[in-house]
Amino acid sequence: MEGRYPLNMAEDNSTDLTDFEAGLLDWLVENNFHVEPWSTQKAAKQFYVEEEAIYEAVAALTRKVPQRIQVFYKNGALHIAAD
């Protein structure tokens, strides 16, 4: 299967990250959103952007670096784990 990858070998497109996406990923790694619930509102305040920009950046991270980010639902709240 030349040119095709199994799902568990997703490409790392971290070089395609915008500065904002890279900064958000770094911030996600440094914080405990895998333990404490995620807040898009708090993230937007942290980066001085609208919530829509946060949603778009998180979505982009799940496409560009899926092996470095996991978004999941636990105990009635959204959580994000990143490394």
pLDDT at residue number 13:
62
| Interval 66-80: pLDDT, tens | 999 999 999 999 999
pLDDT at residue number 9:
42
| Interval 19-74: pLDDT, tens | 999 999 999 999 989 999 999 999 999 999 999 999 999 999 999 999 999 999 99
- Nearest to 71, CA basis, from 61, 56, 81: 81
The answer to whether the Cα torsion of 57, 59, 60, 66 is positive or negative is positive
Say which CATH class 17-82 falls into. Answer: mainly alpha
